[in-house]
Amino acid sequence: MIWKIVALGVVENYTTGWVLHYVYLPGRAETHHALGAVGTHSTVGTHSAVGTHSGPGHGGPAHGAGAGAHGSHEAAAQELSPLLHFLRDSTLALPVTIAILLIVTLAVRAIAVRVGADAGTARVRIAFACAAAIAAAMASVPEVLAHGRLFDEQIAGVSMASHLTGVALVTLRYTFALTLIAAVLFGVPWRAPRSTVRPLGLPIHGEA
């Protein structure tokens, strides 16, 4: 079960982190500039992600507040490349993402056992995906705040509440989709694989 959770956590963490760094945040920054918002040294696209992600979550999930509004050319020169920024944030978020998935797995399994629901049913798989997505989205808020303080990064052009909400919604959508796909294809993490091997010493039906 643990290895299934770790594998799922890695996929979700880096996928959601990539979407946030390369799709959501640059796109939001471009929209902000198109509306005529004022910012100095705000970084977009190829220069840097303007924010960070959460993961379960990433996000992690955990993915902290992004780089923007730097006070000098020297600070901008010391800024990480987009790829390193993504790898740094996503790697820091990975342990949190895995921990959240483990807690969700244990909780959903306990509830399923209590109500007598089989792990292979559709409702258990959907419940697991929903729980994982909600937990990851909720965890993204303190993760973004903690990351922003850890690296002293600020948000350019958007309010903190708007940034936190956007990151949480992206984390919610992608965690749900990826968890549900994994549950449909491979089953929930606690479901034991079916064995087709006949135990030694047991006669085949019809044998004397």
pLDDT 10s digits, 62-121:
454 444 433 433 444 357 788 998 999 999 999 999 999 999 999 999 999 999 999 889
Q: How many CB atoms lie within 10 A of CB 98?
A: 23
What value does the mean pLDDT take over residues 119-139?
A: 95
Residue 37 has pLDDT above 50, yes or no: no
Distances (CA, A) of 114 to 1, 76, 108, 119, 180: 19, 55, 10, 12, 22
The pLDDT value recorded for residue 52 is 45
Structure tokens at 121: 């049913």
156, 65 contact by CB (below 8 A): no
Q: How confident is the model at residue 28 (pLDDT cuts 50, 70, 90)?
A: low
Chain Cα centroid distance, residue 203: 49
Percentage of the residues of the chain whose pLDDT score is greater than 90: 50
Helix (H, G, I), strand (E, B) or coil at 70: coil
pTM: 0.72
